[in-house]
């Protein structure tokens, strides 16, 4: 069994500018065997297919995006670029 962390963040303002490493998270240090260093690929297919049934003609909720400080925006861009390069995500059309 492997676990795929989606995001590691710190709520302290001073920590936001410091480099965050997966090894610094207590649960990762306790169970290192389930957290791969690099993502080997997409998670394996599950026995159950999940889907979201959309309501016909429903409009999306209009909401302003979250504001990010420049360091967070750069980290977001870096992570999205890495996931895109590996083929895990792609731009929507």
Q: How confident is the prediction for the chain on average, in pLDDT?
A: 79
Domain containing 63: what range? Answer: 22-86
pLDDT at 85 over 80: yes
Helix/strand/coil for 29: helix
Cα separation, 4 vs 40, whole angstroms = 10
The domain tally of the chain equals 1
In Å, how far are 29, 50, 60, 63 from 55, measured between CA atoms?
43, 16, 10, 19
For 26-55, what is each residue's pLDDT tens digit? 888 888 888 777 777 777 788 888 888 888
Quick one: which of 30, 37, 50 has its CA closest to 5? 37
- 53 is a domain residue: yes
- 1 is a domain residue: no
């Amino acid at each position: 069994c492997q676990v795929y962390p989606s995001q590691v963040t710190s709520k302290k303002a001073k920590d936001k500018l410091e480099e965050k490493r997966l090894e610094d998270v207590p649960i990762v240090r306790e169970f290192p065997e389930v957290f791969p260093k690099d993502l080997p690929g997409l998670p394996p297919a599950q026995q159950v297919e999940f889907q979201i049934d959309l309501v016909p003609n429903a409009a999306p909720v209009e909401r302003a995006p979250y504001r990010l400080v420049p360091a967070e925006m750069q980290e977001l861009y870096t992570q999205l670029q890495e996931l895109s390069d590996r083929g895990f995500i792609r731009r929507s059309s």
